[in-house]
C-alpha cells in the first residue's frame, strides 16, 4: 500500500511539477520592492530577509549571474554546492508584469522565467565556471520545458548583466554546439537581464526547508536520470 501511495504521489508531482510548492508553509513571503544597480531590481510588498539580502548584495556590487533552468528549486541547489558562491536567490526575470507573483508567473501569461541569481566571489569562481555548472544542470535542447515542467516560465535562458557576460555566454554556447555532444540544436536563449524580482520567501532554499518534498519532486520529474542521459555521470 505504501508503494502504491508513493507511486501516486510521484505521478502527481510529475504532472504538476514545480507548482507543488508548499504554499501553505509560508504564504506571507511576497517579492520585494526597491530599485537596484547592475540591471537588477524588483517590486512588490515584502521586506523579508531574502529581499534585504538581495538588495544588500546588489548595493555592495557583488558579482552576480542570472540563469533560468526550469524549476528554480533545483537550480538553486546545484549552485549552492559550488565553492565561491555567496548566495543563491530564486526569482522571476524576463517578463512584462512589473509586480510578478508566483501565481502570475506560473500561469505562463507574464512572460517571466523562473530564475536563480547567483552572487559569487570572483576571486574563487568565475562566470565561465558558473556557465559550466549551468549547462550540466539543464536540458538545453528542449524549448519552453524542463523535465516535467512545461511552459514558457520553465524555459532555459542565460540573462547577462553586462557585455562580458554576454561574450562568455555566447562563447560557451558556441563551444557546446560545436562539440557534437547533442544531435538537436541548443535552444537556450541568451538575452540581457532586465528586472529581476526575488520570489516569495517560501521558495527560497526550498531544498533545505522541505528536503523530503523536494526529493519527491525531483525524483518524480526524473531530473537526475535525464541529466545523466545528457551529460553522463
Beta strands in 64-222 (DSSP E): 64-69, 85-93, 113-120, 145-146, 149-150, 156-160, 189-192, 196-198
148 given a catalytic annotation: no
**Strand pairing report for 149-150 and 145-146:** antiparallel
Rounded to whole angstroms, the Cα distance separating 127 from 91 reads 19
- Active-site residue (options: 71, 74, 148, 221): 71
Q: Is 7 helix (H, G, I), strand (E, B) or coil?
A: helix
Torsion angle in degrees (nearest 10) through CA of 96, 89, 155, 101: -40
Contact 222, 147 (CB under 8 A): yes
CA–CA gap between residue 89 and residue 51 (Å, rounded): 9
Q: Kindly give, in sequence order, each residue whose CB lies less than 8 Å from that of residue 150, ignoring residues fewer than 6 positions away.
A: 17, 144
Round to whole Å and give the CA distance between 231 and 16.
25
Residues 6+ apart with CB under 8 A from 62: 86, 119, 120
The strand ranges marked E within the chain are 64-69, 85-93, 113-120, 145-146, 149-150, 156-160, 189-192, 196-198
What CA–CA distance (Å, rounded) separates 116 from 67? 6
Residues labelled as active-site residues: 71
Amino acid at each position: 500500500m505504501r508503494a502504491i501511495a508513493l507511486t501516486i504521489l510521484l505521478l502527481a508531482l510529475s504532472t504538476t511539477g514545480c507548482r507543488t510548492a508548499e504554499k501553505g508553509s509560508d504564504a506571507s513571503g511576497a517579492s520585494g520592492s526597491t530599485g537596484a544597480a547592475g540591471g537588477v531590481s524588483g517590486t512588490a510588498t515584502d521586506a523579508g530577509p531574502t529581499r534585504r539580502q538581495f538588495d544588500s548584495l546588489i548595493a555592495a556590487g557583488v558579482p552576480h549571474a542570472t540563469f533560468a533552468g526550469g524549476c528554480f528549486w533545483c537550480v538553486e541547489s546545484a549552485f549552492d554546492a559550488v565553492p565561491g558562491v555567496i548566495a543563491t536567490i530564486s526569482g522571476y526575470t524576463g517578463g512584462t508584469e512589473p509586480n510578478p507573483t508566483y501565481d502570475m508567473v506560473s500561469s505562463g501569461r507574464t512572460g517571466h522565467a523562473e530564475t536563480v541569481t547567483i552572487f559569487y566571489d570572483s576571486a574563487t569562481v568565475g562566470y565561465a565556471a558558473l556557465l559550466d555548472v549551468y549547462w550540466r544542470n539543464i536540458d538545453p535542447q528542449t524549448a519552453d520545458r524542463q523535465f516535467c515542467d512545461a511552459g514558457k516560465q520553465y524555459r532555459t535562458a542565460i540573462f547577462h548583466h553586462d557585455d562580458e557576460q554576454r561574450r562568455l555566454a555566447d562563447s560557451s554556447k558556441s563551444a557546446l554546439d560545436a562539440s557534437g555532444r547533442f544531435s538537436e540544436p541548443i535552444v537556450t536563449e541568451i538575452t540581457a537581464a532586465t528586472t529581476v524580482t526575488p520570489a516569495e520567501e517560501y521558495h527560497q532554499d526550498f531544498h533545505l526547508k522541505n528536503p523530503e518534498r523536494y526529493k519527491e519532486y525531483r525524483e518524480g520529474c526524473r531530473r537526475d536520470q535525464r541529466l545523466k542521459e545528457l551529460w553522463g555521470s
